[in-house]
Amino acid sequence: MANLFAAAIVKFGHTNDKLVLASDAMVDAAMDKFVVSFDFEGMINDFLDGINLDGLKDTTTSVRETTSEGLRRASEFVEPDAEEA
């Protein structure tokens, strides 16, 4: 309804500042009411529930282990054991 009113103002009353202001307010109020009606938390939860993260968890664990091993080897290279020095 607000968009219809705004379109009429653009077509027939665009020179009247008060009508333009009123139509902008109507569109803003309608948009606020529309956005508030969304259940964003529910939408995000539904989206995340449909994603299987098991493969990502396995990959992350593998990368973390590889990184740890690489850091351990690098530290031995930078600071060799006292026996080797």
Tokens describing residue 35: 């956005």
pLDDT, position 11: 72
**Domain range list for the chain:** 1-43, 52-85
Q: What integer pLDDT is reported at residue 37 of this predicted model?
A: 86
Q: What is d(CA 36, CA 54) in angstroms, rounded to the nearest whole number?
A: 34
* Residue bearing the bigger pLDDT, 84 or 3: 3
pLDDT tens-digit profile of 24-77?
Answer: 888 888 888 888 888 888 888 888 887 777 766 677 777 777 777 777 777 776
pTM of the model: 0.41
CA distance 46 to 43: 5
Opening angle at CA 37, ends 33 and 40, nearest 5: 130
